[in-house]
Chain A
Amino acid sequence: MRLHEYQSKQIYREYGIPTPDGIICTTINEAEQAVRQLHSAVIKAQVLVGGRGKAGGVLKATQDNASSIAAQIFGLTIKGLPVRKVLVEKSMAIANEYYVAIVLDRSTGSPLLMVSASGGVDIEEVARTTPHLICKRSIDPYMGLMSHQLLYMAKKLGIDDITAFSKLIRNLYNIYETFDCTLVEINPLVLTQSGHIIALDAKINIDDNALFRQKAMQELYIRNQDDLEPQEVQAKKLDMSYVDMEGNIGCIVNGAGLALATLDMISLAGGSPANFMDVRGGADAFHVGSAVSITASNPGTELLLINMFGGLTLCDEIAQGIHDTLKKLNIPVVIRLTGTNQEKGWDILHGANVTVAHSTSEAARIAVEMVQ
């Protein structure tokens, strides 16, 4: 789960990391007034995807042009997400920019602290072309951050105020630990011309698996659902996983790996999937039925491809869910149903107006032929 910049900054401030003065706005009018209040400002689109800067979602504004700049940003749709909120922040006179992040490192199994003096730019580009400019230290899960690590990094980056730097990194790690984060990132962290360290941007990603013990984050999660596709929200509520895509073949699959294989085979057969939908292991008739109707509700979907390999999930449960739901829908369906209790499953689907396939590749091939 990803937090908005303004939500991340609120947490940063509560944990002692300074951020610029800012006002969150939902209308052009509010944004214009905010700019007036702050004098010169930056207007930043609040969307839950990366790359908003490149999409024109972060612009400087003065009192004279605030209204037109705000209108421009509110008019954007960034990677399919409309801009519903902007953060208006006071402009800073910057002396130096840094990159700071703590991220879960899959290869070592521990959090990784990364700091670079090349902040403010595309850090992935820095990592690719000049990796020596990024200083990295693993954080031991039992020891936590250690002073010598911070001292070494501060010297390496040429930071004079080692105390302020150390305090900031410790506060950031405190956020990482407290909220079950998988990423906390400041890009850029700036040293202002007046000598203050300020987080100009702020990113926090929370581990979805830990939401059950992060009550405050659960609330944010519910509030942020306005910014997601409705199908994604409905699926999440039922503990299923939905990702919107561009094509016209709606996919309902049990298991993430098999779902990915299904998308690939549709593409290999020359078609285009409308979505990824994993109903997860052990789904019952209700879940499968809901998955079918959620997928069918995507306006781009012209055909449903249901691909189920019953193991923990029973084929008769799957068939019951499909049977009950298809009665209410008018859309062509290709089904592949194999596994535990498959005979019972096919009995339930007997007479249903569906096209039968016997493997993932066959199902994909038939689906692509039918929509062409």
Chain B
Amino acid sequence: MANAMRTRSTVMERREARTAWLFTLPALVLLVAFLVVPFLLAIGLSFTDQRLIPNPRLPTEFVGLRNFQRILHDPVFLRALLNNFVFAGVVVPVQSALALVMAMLVNQKIRATNIFRTIYFSPVVTTMVVVSAIWFLLYNPTQGFINQFLHAVTFGLTGTIDWLQDPHTALLAIMILSIWQGAGFQMVIFLAGLQEIPQTLYEAARIDGANRWQSFRHITLTGLRNTTVFVIISTSILAFRLYDQVKVMTNGGPLNATQTVVYQIERVGFGQLKVGYASALTVVFFLIVLSITLLQRRLLPEERNV
């Protein structure tokens, strides 16, 4: 009897496994074909001197770890990596905090919040290439809107900031633009999280005599824990992929102040035609971002409700 049960359950398990694979097959096949295989190819190429345009007189050669050794001493890569970290280190917390404030503002029961939601979200739906082209004009030191505005509100105290050409401000300029473009999206996610928090919790807290800060700290932030984890991890991944803004606005300059790893990978592969080296950069970059993601997951445990 027990034996029969077990056989039946293994048959069912096997059937379920087969169904499961059938369900996952289309996605898996596509992911393997268009993501995993090219990535493995990139790993393979990273040990060669593959050129973008193949040459009959100079066939691709295996160069061992040469590309990786060069990466260690490549000042552009090291700077790019540093920039990616600075960018993520600033943009992730600032953008998340801003998004949370915006979410709380538009979550109030007052009129017209819907309009404001739409406005805050509008930068998200403009494509990055377009957005970067517009901000490029806005950042112009003498004719750009931003300096003129700062001049007007500070009565000329700000001077002429050469946003995109000054190594001290170029990355900051890109950060501002990125926060501007991305905050609306995080806002919507936080908004969704806020609407899940039962109003009764706030009422109970008020009865208990909690002040606004306390209820924000203990109810809102706690309630948004999973949301925050999600926002932080996904924004970090996006921050490390930074590319479009740099491509349109600064080309990595001035003085490599806005170099990023993905931009460098694209330039080395397409501009300098060195696919081998670009592939090695890809591999190193992947490992770095993977470890950051794993680290974040460890440091920011989600509350699992399953």
Answer yes or no: do A and B interact: no
Q: Which residues of B contact A (CB under 8 A)?
A: none
Q: Which residues of A contact B (CB under 8 A)?
A: none
